[in-house]
A and B are shown apart, each in its own frame.
Chain A
Amino acid sequence: MTMLRAERVTLGYGHRPVVHEVTLDITEGGVGLIGESGSGKTTLARAFLGLLTPMSGNIWYGDQTLKKADLRKFRKDVQPVFQAEALDPRIRVGTSVAEALPRSARPGTRQRVADLLQQVGLDPGLATRRPHQLSGGQRQRVVIARALAVDPRLLILDEPTSALDVTVQARVLDLLASLDTERLLITHNLAVVERLCRTSHVLFAGRIVESGPTRDLLANPAHPYTRALRDAVPRLGGPPPEARGRAEAVPAGTGCPFRLRCPLAVPECEREPALRDVAGRQVACHRAEDTLAGDHVT
């Protein structure tokens, strides 16, 4: 049984749903949630953290729904890692980490803080610094140390490296990959997902459009949106990234939400596609087979 699972979860603010009937298991080896601005990925992350109650559906924590679960235990098991801007600028980073420690650890606080800083690759001597006295990469490590303070089983990471310089990003990713916690990683960066997640889910307009092993998904996408995302990523020495046009078209309100942007759209796409099994993954597309075959001429 997986530790955390969303079952047909619909999420929104007020009465407006932004995530529609998403079912997702946090499995081993890292789970990636890929999507662009407005796709609903952060909203889904908030629900997994128990910060947002589903309009319908359930978040399961073991064999209990989050509504009924022991939240004290949940908060120890599941920890968020957000961008480093979340650190209080007035508080020394060592204190910041100490505050996150469970009460039972109080006597040995100083040593625990030093250990945690060391675990994330920071000199324990930095504990007396304030956030602005650290570099962006160091601050992000402090945020990770704080999350690790309660010895969690799962980290929920929302764009943990997107504000960092590339060389710094590479080292923070190494750190994240070395931790023995489970992870749910929310990002727009396909390369980061590839590095940290065995399984990935692609979110478009609040719906999962493709799920499967990350490597397969990126090597040979079965959903035209996954393909558009992948092909838009610039490659070193490669051709200019491909613009398939209409990247800013509003998602369709009926039928397949991607159809107004889709190079493969056919009249059938006015009927909303359900997720179905195709080539070892789940895809919500009437034309998944054609996408897999690389058939892009309409």
Chain B
Amino acid sequence: MIEVRDLRVSYGGRLVADVPELDVGEGECVAIVGESGSGKSTTLLSLLGLTPDAEISGHIRVCGVDVLTAPPRRLREIRGARVALVMQSPQAALSPATRLGVLMRRALKLHGVGNGSAGGSAEVMEEAVAAVMLDPGILTRYPHEISGGQAQRFAIALAIALGAEVILADEPTSALDVTVQAEVVGVLRRLREERGLALLLVSHDLALVSTIADRVLVMKDGAVVESGPAARVLAEPRHPYTRELLEAVLSVPGGTP
């Protein structure tokens, strides 16, 4: 679903992300971990051609589209539809004066989902909302009437309704309470298993990543310092920086039963 080779993203001559290789297959979850300024978000945004002021070289293929050479029309076909972007604060992206149902219907129409008929889209919408364990009543609400966790799940529901095959998520749970985070992570995991969604996750939370990712890329100052299967990287880190990150993870006594 995602294939990246020799990606180099620079701003004004300064290299901010250098990713030699990044692949995400169907039903796979790959995580990019790193601290502020490591280039992890830039890498994610570049996959949808959302780094307009940057100098980019290399090769990016997402859902069969060559992102760096495709005409804008081709990019619009994958952005928001086949590839969804889930950000840290979805509420900021929801129009405050629009009910969530109206917002979702507009998005469906824009992307030509649900045959354009009201009945067809209502069905798609309810199914999508149920897939993220939200009550259909949420569609009549305004953004300020829902919580952060609900907003994040709504953002994911929007992706499902639009038929997303890939979800790019940038710190999707770091603004949420831990109990709510657990729910959102649960939703993402189920969508992966049941629908074969590919998930590329950007996070600073190594512990969280270790529980859901198949593979991990560790970035520091724009470079990938280590990558490999999550279990290996986290159990036998080879790069000193990965070790430093792991040592900084604070533990909480008592195990999950």
Chain A, interface SS category: loop
User: Is A100 at the interface (CB under 8 A from chain B)?
Assistant: no
Residues of A within 8 A of B182 (CB): 231-232, 240-244, 247
User: Is the Cβ of B179 less than 8 Å from the Cβ of A36?
Assistant: yes
User: Is A110 at the interface (CB under 8 A from chain B)?
Assistant: no
Bound state CA distance, A244 and B179, in angstroms?
8
A235-B211, A236-B210 in contact; A241/B251 too (CB < 8 A)?
no
User: Is A238 at the interface (CB under 8 A from chain B)?
Assistant: yes
For A37, give the chain B residue with the smallest CB separation.
B177
Interface residues of B in 145-161 (CB under 8 A from A): 147-150
B157 → A minimal CB distance (Å): 15
A36-B178, A237-B231 in contact; A243/B183 too (CB < 8 A)?
yes
A199 → B minimal CB distance (Å): 15
B169 → A minimal CB distance (Å): 15
User: Is the Cβ of A231 less than 8 Å from the Cβ of B234?
Assistant: no
Bound state CA distance, A218 and B251, in angstroms?
11
Bound state CA distance, A173 and B36, in angstroms?
19
User: Is A104 at the interface (CB under 8 A from chain B)?
Assistant: no
User: Is the Cβ of B181 less than 8 Å from the Cβ of A232?
Assistant: yes
A190-B252, A194-B250, A243-B185 in contact; A233/B178 too (CB < 8 A)?
yes
User: Is the Cβ of A166 less than 8 Å from the Cβ of B179?
Assistant: no
Bound state CA distance, A221 and B256, in angstroms?
12
User: Is the Cβ of B211 less than 8 Å from the Cβ of A241?
Assistant: yes
User: Is B119 at the interface (CB under 8 A from chain A)?
Assistant: no
User: Is B257 at the interface (CB under 8 A from chain A)?
Assistant: yes
Residue in B35, B186, B205, B254 whose CB lies within 8 Å of A218: B254
Bound state CA distance, A222 and B149, in angstroms?
26
User: Is A230 at the interface (CB under 8 A from chain B)?
Assistant: yes
User: Is B244 at the interface (CB under 8 A from chain A)?
Assistant: yes
For B174, give the chain A residue with the smallest CB separation.
A162
Interface residues of A in 158-206 (CB under 8 A from B): 165-170, 173, 188-192, 194-195
B240 → A minimal CB distance (Å): 12
User: Is the Cβ of A191 less than 8 Å from the Cβ of B252?
Assistant: yes
Residue in A166, A194, A218, A242 whose CB lies within 8 Å of B248: A166
Residue in A215, A232, A242 whose CB lies within 8 Å of B253: A215
23 inter-chain pairs at a CB distance below 8 angstroms, sorted by A residue, are A165-B35, A165-B36, A166-B205, A167-B244, A168-B35, A188-B178, A189-B250, A191-B250, A195-B250, A218-B254, A219-B254, A228-B179, A232-B182, A233-B207, A234-B185, A235-B251, A238-B207, A239-B211, A241-B185, A243-B183, A245-B183, A247-B180, A248-B180
Chain A residues at the B interface, C-beta cutoff of 8 Å: 36-37, 136, 165-170, 173, 188-192, 194-195, 215, 218-221, 228-245, 247-248, 294, 296
Q: Lowest 9 A-B CB distances belong to which pairs? A: A191-B250, A165-B35, A36-B177, A247-B179, A241-B182, A243-B182, A232-B182, A232-B178, A234-B208
In the complex, besides A234-B181, A243-B179, A247-B180, 17 extra interface pairs with C-beta distance below 8 angstroms are: A36-B178, A37-B177, A165-B36, A166-B206, A167-B35, A170-B247, A170-B248, A218-B253, A218-B254, A232-B179, A234-B185, A234-B208, A235-B207, A237-B211, A242-B256, A248-B147, A294-B257
